[in-house]
Amino acid sequence: MKPTYDIKQIAINTISEEEKTIGQLKNYIDGDFVNAVELILKSKGRVIITGIGKSANIANKIVATLNSTGTPALFMHAADAIHGDLGMILPDDIIICISKSGSTPEIKVLVPLIKNMGNTLIAMVSGLDSFLAKEADYVLKAVVEKEADPNNLAPTNSTTAQLVLGDALAVSLLECRQFTSQDFAKYHPGGALGKKLYLRVNDLYGKELPPKVSEEESIRPIILEISSKRMGATAVVNKDDELVGIITDGDLRRMLEQNEDVSKLIARDIMSLKPKTIDPDSLAINAFHLMEDNNITQLAVIQNKKYVGMIHLHDILKEGIV
């Protein structure tokens, strides 16, 4: 008879095992970690990260994180390194070698070659008595007692530890460099992430013939203005183009519900006072949050106290940043 399994409990146990491993990593952040960060900060070269197997996959991820946060990095597969890829290493480069055991055949071949080249070698390793740990200039201790799987074979806790330690390294470097969101945007110009960091209201709102009426405008022109400009609203401005109110589709509906005769009403009678506004230099994502927080779909754009246009929720959504 086929055995039954509590799949939910298996998943919970796996997460608990990895959570325990991550928690213990804090005990291994020591002088070597600090020295490694300071060395990379001062370096004129790049960080080259190498590994084999699942450690190579983690190395690739750490490289991507470092590159996106201001630390130039390259991946070098440990097996390919001894077949020509060592040529990518320049004199000022710092090498990080990732391995759980620190004693695989590929590592034992690669490490002496790196040492002979004179580059600083940083180990990220669980086996603190391993060949790699003993040969490295600095050791980042990704120590794990066992893997999360019942056979203690599949890389689980070990790769999680490497990943978290790599993130700790990257964030330490990021903060020490005072790397800002503007810096981050330089490396992420494409996609939703980049747009959140650089796309501004000024890039989105319609600047030509924005919806607006005077305070004395009658109902029919107001309706035509809202309908023709397709913003679901119109600004109400004074003679100096200063915003004094806003009329939305909702305001029109409420006006019809509350008044049998609307022929004598003007914009001043039905407009909402103190509408939400935004500066054209504000980030588009901030405009979205302002709309979201106030349950509205448009914002008046104000520059030097003048009404210059209107941005709609759809203008932001079509950019795919939320």
Annotated binding site for Zn(2+): 77
58-63: long-range contacts (C-beta < 8 A, 24 or more apart)? Answer: 58/98, 58/159, 58/162, 58/163, 58/166, 59/96, 59/98, 61/163, 61/166, 62/96, 62/98, 62/162, 62/163, 62/166, 62/167, 62/169, 62/170
Nearest by Cα to 118 from 142, 90, 98: 90
89 contacts 83 by C-beta, under 8 angstroms: no
**Cα–Cα distance, 40 to 42 (Å, whole number):** 5
140 contacts 165 by C-beta, under 8 angstroms: yes
Detail the residues annotated as belonging to a binding site. Answer: 77
**Cα–Cα distance, 93 to 83 (Å, whole number):** 19
Q: Which of 237-257 are b and which e, b meaning 16 or more Cβ less than 10 Å from the residue's Cβ?
A: beeeeebbbbbbeebbeebee
SS3 at position 74 = strand
**Cα–Cα distance, 285 to 291 (Å, whole number):** 10
- SS3 of 290-303: the string is HHHHHCCCEEEEEE
Q: How many angstroms separate the Cα of 154 from the Cα of each of 114, 151, 182?
A: 29, 8, 40
Strands 298-303 and 306-312: antiparallel
Radius of gyration, alpha carbons of the chain: 30
Q: Which residues contact 159 (CB under 8 A, 6 or more apart)?
A: 54, 55, 57, 58
